[in-house]
């Protein structure tokens, strides 16, 4: 079983929402994030009066779906503990493209005893900073979404 407490999310903004190419700095207080979703869209290639392609062709009533050859990268959601620094950093990153996101998974606890982590790196942007709710007796968090704009690399 993998627990998420060692997961790390970092962006090359110098830690303050600054210019692209700054020091890659992790966020403090990350609660959740997901690795980018990848989807291979398909198109309907069903033909009128298509046959089954056998030796004695017969009508084939099934739809044929073929991959388009491109892969769609979906939005990824996350949540972090509220601090003024985290909130201001997210506001500055929102809508700005070209930052390098580095997402590191926790150790998958292999029996070899050697830490095995997955690192996902991609160019992307914070595309949404959600509503921050201050409620008595509840932890305050910052919900957010980010989207990859280029193919992620995994190592």
Query: Could you tell me whether strands 25-26 and 8-11 are parallel, antiparallel, or unpaired per DSSP bridges?
Result: antiparallel
Greatest Cα pair distance, the chain, in angstroms, is 73
52 vs 2, which has greater pLDDT? 52
- Does the pLDDT of residue 69 top 60, yes or no? yes
C-beta separation of 145 from 128 below 8 A: yes
With a cut of 90, say whether residue 133 has pLDDT above it. Answer: yes
**pLDDT tens digits, 42-61:** 988 888 888 877 877 788 88
Cα 106 to Cα 129: distance, rounded to the nearest angstrom: 25
- Is residue 90 very low, low, confident or very high in pLDDT (cuts 50, 70, 90)? very high
Query: Which residue ranges form the domains of the chain, and what is each CATH number?
Result: 1-34+75-154 (2.30.110)
pLDDT at 3 over 60: no
Cα separation, 123 vs 93, whole angstroms: 13
DSSP assignment letter at 69? S
């Amino acid at each position: 079983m993998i627990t998420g407490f060692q997961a790390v999310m970092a962006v090359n903004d110098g830690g303050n929402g600054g210019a692209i190419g700054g020091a890659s700095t992790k966020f403090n207080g990350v609660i959740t994030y997901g690795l980018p979703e990848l989807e291979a869209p398909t198109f309907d290639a069903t033909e009128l009066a298509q046959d089954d392609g056998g030796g004695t062709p017969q009508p084939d009533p099934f739809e044929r779906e073929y991959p388009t050859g491109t892969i769609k990268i979906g939005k990824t959601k996350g949540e972090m503990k509220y601090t003024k620094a985290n909130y201001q950093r997210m506001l500055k990153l929102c809508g700005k493209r070209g930052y390098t996101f580095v997402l590191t998974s926790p150790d998958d606890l292999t029996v070899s005893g050697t830490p095995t982590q997955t690192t996902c790196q991609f160019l992307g942007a914070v595309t949404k900073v959600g509503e921050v709710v201050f409620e008595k007796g509840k932890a305050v968090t910052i919900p957010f979404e980010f989207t990859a704009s280029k193919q992620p690399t995994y190592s």
